[in-house]
Amino acid sequence: MEQIGGDVNERAILVAHGDPQVLERLVTTLSDQGYEVVGPASTAREALAYAAQAPVGLALIGEPLAGRRNGRALGAALRATWGVPCAYLKGRPGLSA
């Protein structure tokens, strides 16, 4: 899969998580801090499609993802295809139970 675009944008962060509330919180927080959010994606397929369109400096991947692939498989595909570093999230960051 060839990336459309070109140079990596270090301020662009791909966000993927299966929980819409977590996605909303992550997008808001990152945007408020001046980052360009790519996505958000709830499945690995969506995340890979976003990554193909926009060079990103980092992927934040949460479990669980919707769909068939898990977060580790998504991270492996992002690293192998475009060299994107990944950080994995567990739980529900910033949300109270």
Mean pLDDT over 66-91 rounds to 93
Indicate whether 96 belongs to any domain. no
Indicate whether 3 belongs to any domain. no
Counting the structural domains of the chain, the total is 1
Q: Which domain holds residue 78?
A: 9-89
Indicate whether 94 belongs to any domain. no
Indicate whether 76 belongs to any domain. yes
β-strand partners of 66:
43
Indicate whether 20 belongs to any domain. yes
Q: Summarize pLDDT for 23-37 with one digit per residue, the tens.
A: 999 999 999 999 999
Residues 1 and 96: their CA atoms lie apart, in Å, by: 39
CA atoms within 13 A on the CB side of 83: 5
Record the pTM: 0.84
Mean pLDDT over 3-23 rounds to 82
Indicate whether 2 belongs to any domain. no
CATH code: domain of residue 19:
3.40.50.2300
Indicate whether 82 belongs to any domain. yes
